[in-house]
């Protein structure tokens, strides 16, 4: 199956600069992802990424959506596979990383460089967390 990232859009972007001198450096980073399979389009799906960052220089909330096309009809097996949970977010994340670096640089603060994320480990950890909570 051939898969292509067709486009991406920023749904929400909320940036707040902190002008207070904060002695207690904090660096809170949270990334959520979700897959969407629109009805009526059997060869397209979307990934939403929602990122929140709180650190000593700013608070940032960004939500983005990434539209993927495939060359075959999307099956239930595909929907449950690793691709929408692991591979597609891994393809989309570098675009979000670049956006965060650019917006913080243009805001006049040191650019925030998001760490690389191992989406395979992230998914395995999520599955383990779900199994523990049962």
Q: What is the pTM of this model?
A: 0.85
Q: How many helices (H) and strands (E) does the chain have?
A: 4, 4
Residue 103: pLDDT band with limits 50, 70, 90: very high
Tell me how crowded residue 95 is: count the other CB atoms within 10 A of its CB. Answer: 15
The pLDDT tens digits of the residues spanning 4-44 come to 999 999 999 999 988 765 555 566 889 999 999 998 889 99
Whether domain 3-133 has CATH 3.10.420.10: the reply is yes
| Average pLDDT for the chain | 88
């Amino acid at each position: 199956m051939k898969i292509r990232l067709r486009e991406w859009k920023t749904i929400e972007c909320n940036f707040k600069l902190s002008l207070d001198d904060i002695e207690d450096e904090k660096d809170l980073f949270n990334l959520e992802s979700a897959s969407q399979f629109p009805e009526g389009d059997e060869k397209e799906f979307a990934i939403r990424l929602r990122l929140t960052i709180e650190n000593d220089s700013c608070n940032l909330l960004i939500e983005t959506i990434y539209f993927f096309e495939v060359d075959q009809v999307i099956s239930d097996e595909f929907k449950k596979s690793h691709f929408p949970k692991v591979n597609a977010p891994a393809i989309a994340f570098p675009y979000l990383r670049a956006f965060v670096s650019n917006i913080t640089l243009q805001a006049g603060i040191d650019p925030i460089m998001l760490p690389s994320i191992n989406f395979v480990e992230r998914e395995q950890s999520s599955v383990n967390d779900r199994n523990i909570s049962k």
